[in-house]
């Protein structure tokens, strides 16, 4: 990397990637979205694929992802990002296509599109942010909400008898022959951030192989929805989310 | 509009439409099986790929219309087809596409409803097709073929109009038009050049700002601007109105009918003329934009109107708005997949003639 010197004579060792716009993130303090946006766009910059990349934004907190990611993007209807991504990828089979979706979008209203897109082996990257809650609409229960977890629509905690079980959709995806690379990561520590970036890089590097869908889940937090400080939220996530959604690769290329 | 044509051949409406789509430069088709339109999906899965089109059977109509969204957003000439219940499932996507200003062709080979209904032909999706169908203030451009020839020809018109105005266009046919075989002269391949789509998401070069396809405009001021732009566009689209006049010059009883019902109405007009009743037919070809002006001006010449539809009375509301109380507007309809016979329509014409004592010539 070339050494850049700033005006005050100091060596520039880190900067925002050019693939992120100058628009300030609207995300709450401590939220994982900003970190994942940055990692994804760093990878796009480092691979030099900005001109070949088309992203699909979901409905949810990251509905405005296209305000931050400096690539051509389409905003999909709630749950339909994988179908929209399919439409783009089929038209441009040699370009890089990703969808960026939350748990409600991907694993509740969009379950059908998610499963079938994976099962067709669409050669796209799906980035799945799982924070076990509907953040944008004010903290309602998500398909991935843990049993006993309090949300605005499970005020007494999620009860299995009423609302069923948390959906481990990434495990489901990993079972499908159309899935090529399936991994679950996090962004709560420096080490986790590095691993997530590596996963995103691998997923995009795999895309030209045309071997199937690459699916990167990021177990994340929601300090506002969980009604915790960012520090508390990360501690709660480690203690409660990780046992249900353990980090690591679920499927790697053979 | 469609220049060079081949010698006629005998084809099913659905197949003629599918073949015409390939000749019109179709680049991406996404569909889902439903009677009575499945032949479109079948024809395109057989012939599409080898002629350069992306063809994919989706897991639902919901997925299909959103794949169309993605492909259209990427600049492809994109299309889907379905029948009434499936078209209902696509309404969300159509609302989004209209707001995001994406062109596409949606074919509705409609059947009787409501609900799962019947697989027999009906025109009961007129309101849904012409008034918006999904949420928000919008319209589709709607063309109503009444022959297998028009099933083929209107594909070109629908793609051209949808791309000109960056608005989804619909061909509103019915199960009979989709299933019946007629003589058709297919338009020549390649006669519809691909349009320039600088807004498409094709990957951002360093030389331009990123392209964004979205229907989200969270500030109300911006959302109103978008709406004003759409309304301006719908005003301009009025100039695309098309209709056919049959025996309207001296008509005293004017029938108004579209699609299959127009063919029945035309036969009834012939039968009435044989009996000396001066009947005529106005056939709207575009249902949106609706030919209100010609109906309004004809209302000053005729004595009475008779609207014939295969539904409970939907287009008749637009005819009454155009006539604006100036003349009586009667309605004859059959529902639930039933098709009115020319004789049934003739009876209506005769009873109107009698009530106004229109003398036989």
* CATH label of the domain that carries residue B16: 3.40.50.970
How many other C-beta atoms are found inside a 10 Å radius of the C-beta of residue A181?
A: 24
* A76 has a chain B CB within 8 A of its CB: yes
B83 and B186 housed in the same domain: yes
Residue-wise pLDDT for A94-114, tens only, equals 999 999 999 999 999 999 999
pLDDT of residue B195: 87
A193/A21 Cα distance (integer angstroms): 21
Q: Is the pLDDT of residue A5 over 80?
A: no
State whether B163 and B251 are in the same domain. Answer: no
Tokens 């399919």, residue located: A86
Largest Cα–Cα separation, chain A: 64
Tell me which residue of B188, B280, B192, B191 sits closest to B243, measured CA to CA: B280
A6 lies in a domain? Answer: no
Question: Across the interface, do B203 and A51 touch by the CB < 8 Å criterion?
Answer: yes
The answer to whether the CB of A81 falls within 8 A of the CB of A57 is yes
Confidence at residue B5, expressed as pLDDT on a 0 to 100 scale? 77
A contacts of B72 (beta carbons < 8 Å): 87
pLDDT(A228) > 70: yes
CA distances from B332 to A206, B297, B305, B313 (A): 62, 22, 11, 8
Residue A149 forms part of a structural domain: no
Answer whether residue B350 is part of any domain.
yes
Q: Is B56 on the interface with A (CB under 8 A)?
A: yes
Chain A residues within 8 A of B135 when measuring between CB atoms: none
Instruction: Tell whether B189 and B302 lie within a shared domain.
Output: no
Per-residue pLDDT, A225 = 96
Residue A83, chain B, CB below 8 Å: the answer is yes
Distance from A56 to chain B by nearest Cα, in Å?
9
B307 part of a folded domain: yes
A133, A145 contact by CB (below 8 A): yes
Alpha-carbon gap, residue B45 to A203, rounded angstroms: 31
| Ranges of chain B with pLDDT below 50 | 1-2
> Smallest Cβ distance to A112: which of B63, B69, B96?
B63
Whichever domain contains A201, its CATH number is 3.40.50.970
Structural domain total, chain B: 2
Chain B positions in Cβ-Cβ contact with residue A76 (cut-off 8 Å): 66, 69-70
Q: Which residue of A has its CA nearest to B214?
A: A75
DSSP H/E element including B261 = helix B259-274
Q: Are residues B187 and B305 in the same domain?
A: no
Write out pLDDT tens, residues A125-149: 999 999 999 999 999 999 999 999 9
What is the tally of structural domains in chain A? 1
A54/B203 CB distance under 8 A: yes
Q: What is the pLDDT of residue A1?
A: 52
Asked if residue B303 and residue B316 are part of one domain, the reply reads: yes
Q: Distance of alpha carbon B54 from its chain centroid, rounded? A: 24
| Residues of chain B found within 8 Å of residue A116, distances taken between Cβ atoms | 58-59, 63
Is A177 contained in some domain? yes
Sequence-distant contacts of B213-222: CB under 8 A, at least 24 apart: B213/A73, B213/A74, B213/A75, B213/B69, B213/B73, B213/B100, B213/B102, B214/A57, B214/A66, B214/A74, B214/A75, B214/B100, B215/A75, B215/B95, B215/B96, B215/B97, B215/B98, B215/B99, B215/B100, B216/A63, B216/A64, B216/A75
Contact (CB<8Å) B70/A70: no
Let me know how many helices (H) and strands (E) chain B has, helices first: 13, 15
B51 and B189 share one domain: yes
Ordered DSSP codes for A112-168: HHHHHHHHTT-S-EEEEEE-SEETTTTSEE-TTPPTT--BTTBTT---HHHH-PPP-
**Chain A nearest-CA residue for B68:** A87
| Three-state DSSP class for residue B30 | strand
Mutate to test the interface with B, among A19, A47, A84 (most CBs of B within 10 A): A84
- Suggest the residue from A56, A60, A88 to mutate for an interface test with chain B (most B CBs closer than 10 A): A88
Does A3 score more than 90 pLDDT? no
Start-to-end C-alpha separation, chain A: 32
Question: Is residue B2 included in any domain, yes or no?
Answer: no
Chain A residues with CB-CB distance to B213 below 8 A: 73-75
Percentage of residues in chain A having pLDDT higher than 90: 94
Question: C-alpha angle B256/B258/B259, rounded to 5°?
Answer: 155
User: What pLDDT shows up at residue B358?
Assistant: 59
Same domain, B341 and B264: yes
Specify if A160 maps to a domain. no
CA distances from A44 to A19, A34, A40, A138, B342 (A): 7, 15, 6, 32, 65
Considering only CB atoms, A87 lies closest to which of B59, B60, B69, namely B69
Measured from the Cβ of residue B164, the count of other Cβ atoms closer than 10 Å reads: 15
Instruction: Select the residue of A70, A77, A92 nearest B66 (Cβ to Cβ).
Output: A77
Q: What is the arithmetic mean of pLDDT over A151-165?
A: 97
Q: Judge if B183 and B264 occupy the same domain.
A: no
**B198 at the A interface (CB within 8 A)?**
no
Give pLDDT tens digits for B156-215.
Answer: 999 999 999 999 999 999 999 999 999 999 999 988 998 899 999 999 999 999 999 999
The domain that holds B306 is classified in CATH as 3.40.50.920
Contact call for B213 and A75, based on CB within 8 A = yes
Question: Is residue B212 within a helix (H) or strand (E), and if so which, with residue range?
Answer: strand B212-213
Residue A144 inside a domain? The answer is no
A85 contacts B71? CB cut-off 8 A:
no
| Pair B170, B137 in one domain | yes
Return the axis-axis angle of helices B148-165 and B220-237, rounded to nearest 10°.
140
Give dist(CA B8, CA A239) in Å, integer.
73
Which of A57, A71, A74, A79 to substitute to test the interface with B, most B CBs within 10 Å?
A: A74
Domain assignment present for residue A158? The answer is no
Whether B83 and B177 share a structural domain = yes
Cβ–Cβ contact A26 with B under 8 A = no
Tell me, yes or no, whether B34 lies in a domain.
yes
B207 is a domain residue? no
- Give dist(CA A233, CA A228) in Å, integer: 6
- Indicate whether B121 and B235 sit together in one domain: yes
Which residue among B28, B92, B210 sits closest to A90, beta carbon to beta carbon?
B28
Tell the burial category of A22 from Cβ atoms under 10 Å away from its Cβ (0-12, 13-18, 19+). exposed
- pLDDT confidence of residue B221: 98
d(CA B201, nearest CA chain A) in Å: 5
CB B85 within 8 A of CB B113: yes
CA–CA separation, B260 and B256 (whole Å): 12
Q: Is residue B206 part of a domain?
A: no
Angle, CA A185 vertex, CA A180 and CA A188 arms, to 5°? 165
Residue A143 lies in a domain: no
If asked whether residues B280 and B220 sit together in one domain, one would say no
In chain B, which residues have their Cβ closer than 8 Å to the Cβ of A45?
Answer: none
Q: B212 and A88 in contact by Cβ < 8 A?
A: no
Q: How far apart are CA B38 and CA B20, in angstroms?
A: 16
Contact B56 A86 (CB under 8 A): yes
> Partners of A20 in the beta sheet?
A69
Asked if B100 reaches chain A (Cβ–Cβ under 8 Å), the answer is yes
CA A157 centroid distance within chain: 25
Which chain B residue's Cα is nearest to A122? Answer: B56
Residue from A144, A141, A146 nearest A129 by CA:
A144
Q: pLDDT at position B354, please?
A: 93
- A79 CA: distance to closest CA in chain B (Å): 10
Residues of the domain holding A244? 33-137+168-251
Distance, in Å, from the CA atom of A122 to the CA atom of B2, rounded to the nearest integer, reads: 37
Phi, psi dihedral angles at A49 (to 5 degrees): -115, 20
Q: Which of A249, A218, A195 lies closest to A62 in space, CA to CA?
A: A218
B205 is a domain residue: no
Q: Which domain holds residue B82?
A: 9-197+213-239
In a domain, A130, yes or no: yes
CA angle A170-A175-A178, nearest 5°? Answer: 95
Q: Which of B57, B61, B70 to mutate to test the interface with A (most CBs of A within 10 A)?
A: B70
In a domain, B204, yes or no: no
Residue range A12-51, pLDDT digits in tens: 888 999 999 999 999 999 999 999 999 999 999 999 999 9
């Amino acid at each position: 990397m070339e050494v850049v010197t700033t005006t005050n004579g100091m060596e520039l060792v880190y900067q925002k990637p050019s693939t992120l716009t100058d628009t300030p993130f609207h995300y709450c303090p401590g939220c994982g979205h900003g970190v994942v946006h940055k990692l994804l766009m760093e990878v796009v910059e480092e691979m030099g694929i900005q001109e070949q990349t088309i992203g699909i934004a979901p409905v949810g907190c990251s509905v405005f992802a296209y305000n931050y990611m400096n690539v051509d993007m389409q905003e999909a209807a709630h749950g339909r990002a994988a179908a929209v991504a399919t439409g783009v990828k089929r038209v441009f089979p040699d370009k890089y296509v990703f969808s960026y979706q939350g748990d409600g979008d991907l694993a509740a209203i969009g379950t059908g599109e998610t499963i079938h897109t994976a099962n067709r082996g669409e050669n796209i990257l799906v980035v799945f942010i799982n924070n076990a809650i509907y953040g944008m609409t004010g903290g309602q229960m998500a398909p991935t909400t843990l049993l006993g977890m309090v949300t605005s629509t499970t005020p007494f905690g999620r009860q299995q008898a009423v609302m069923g079980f948390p959906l481990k959709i990434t495990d489901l995806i990993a079972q499908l022959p159309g899935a090529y690379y399936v991994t679950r990561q996090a962004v709560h520590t420096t080490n986790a951030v590095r691993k997530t970036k590596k996963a995103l890089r691998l997923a995009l590097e795999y895309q030209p192989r045309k071997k199937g869908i690459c699916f990167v889940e990021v177990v994340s937090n929601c300090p506002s929805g969980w009604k915790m400080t960012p520090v508390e939220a990360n501690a709660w996530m480690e203690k409660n989310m990780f046992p249900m959604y353990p980090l690591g690769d679920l499927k790697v290329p053979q | 509009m469609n220049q060079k044509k081949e010698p006629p051949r005998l084809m099913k409406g659905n197949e003629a439409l599918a073949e015409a789509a390939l000749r019109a430069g179709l680049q991406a088709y996404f569909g889902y099986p439903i009677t009575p339109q499945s032949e479109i999906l079948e024809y395109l899965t057989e012939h599409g790929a080898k002629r350069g089109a992306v063809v994919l059977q989706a897991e639902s109509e919901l997925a299909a219309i959103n794949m169309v969204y993605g492909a259209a957003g990427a600049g492809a000439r994109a299309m889907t087809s379905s029948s009434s219940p499936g078209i209902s499932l696509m309404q969300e996507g159509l609302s989004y596409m209209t707001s995001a200003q994406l062109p596409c062709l949606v074919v509705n080979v409609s059947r009787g409803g409501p609900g799962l209904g019947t697989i027999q032909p009906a025109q009961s999706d007129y309101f849904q097709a012409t008034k918006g169908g999904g949420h928000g203030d919008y319209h589709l451009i709607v063309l109503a073929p009444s022959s297998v020839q028009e099933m083929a020809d209107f594909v070109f018109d629908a793609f051209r109009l949808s791309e000109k105005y960056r608005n989804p266009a619909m061909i509103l046919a019915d199960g009979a038009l989709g299933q019946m075989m007629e003589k058709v002269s297919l338009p020549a391949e390649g006669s519809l050049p691909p349009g320039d789509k600088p807004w498409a998401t094709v990957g951002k070069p360093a030389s331009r700002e990123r392209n964004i396809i979205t229907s989200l405009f969270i500030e109300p001021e911006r959302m109103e601007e978008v709406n004003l732009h759409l309304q301006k566009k719908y005003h301009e689209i009025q100039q695309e109105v098309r209709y056919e006049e049959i025996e309207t010059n001296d008509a005293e009883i004017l029938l108004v009918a579209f699609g299959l019902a127009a063919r029945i109405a035309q036969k009834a007009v012939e039968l009435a003329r044989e009996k000396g009743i001066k009947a005529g037919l106005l056939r709207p070809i575009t249902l949106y934009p609706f030919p209100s002006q010609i109906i309004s001006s004809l209302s000053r010449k005729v004595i009475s109107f008779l609207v014939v539809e295969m539904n409970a009375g939907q287009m008749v509301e637009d005819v009454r708005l155009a006539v604006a109380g100036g003349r009586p507007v009667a309605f004859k309809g059959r529902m639930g997949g039933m098709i009115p016979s020319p004789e049934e329509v003739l009876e209506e014409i005769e009873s109107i003639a009698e009530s106004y004592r229109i003398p036989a010539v």
